[in-house]
């Protein structure tokens, strides 16, 4: 099964033109592919609620940085949760 790549998420959300900035920002801060996908989805949600009024690039940079941190926290929390199905299988 082919899953959409990072580029596909940026195209679907309308931020493809800002992909190079996003890649640079995420790589310099040590974020991975999955965190970037989660972050761009969160940025798109915020864009739908509170779109930028002046400088779209600056808005994106600030929001993407914030959402990268949220994405990492969400992914770490998800991975830390015990999986009840695995626990039942081992007993």
More confident residue, 85 or 66: 66
The overall pTM is greater than 0.85 = no
Residues 33 and 35: their CA atoms lie apart, in Å, by 6
pLDDT-derived band at 86 (thresholds 50, 70, 90) equals low
pLDDT-derived band at 90 (thresholds 50, 70, 90) equals low
Cβ(82)–Cβ(58) under 8 Å? no
pLDDT at res. 89:
56
Is residue 17 predicted with pLDDT exceeding 60? yes
Residues 89 and 91: their CA atoms lie apart, in Å, by 6
pLDDT-derived band at 11 (thresholds 50, 70, 90) equals very high
């Amino acid at each position: 099964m082919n899953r959409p790549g990072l580029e596909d998420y940026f195209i679907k959300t309308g931020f493809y033109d800002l992909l190079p900035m996003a890649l640079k920002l995420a790589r310099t801060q040590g974020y991975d592919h999955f965190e970037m996908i989660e972050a761009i989805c969160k940025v798109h949600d915020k864009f739908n609620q509170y779109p930028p009024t002046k400088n779209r690039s600056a808005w994106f940079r600030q929001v993407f940085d914030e959402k990268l941190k949220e994405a990492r926290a969400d992914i770490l929390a998800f991975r830390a949760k015990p999986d009840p199905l695995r626990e039942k299988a081992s007993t």
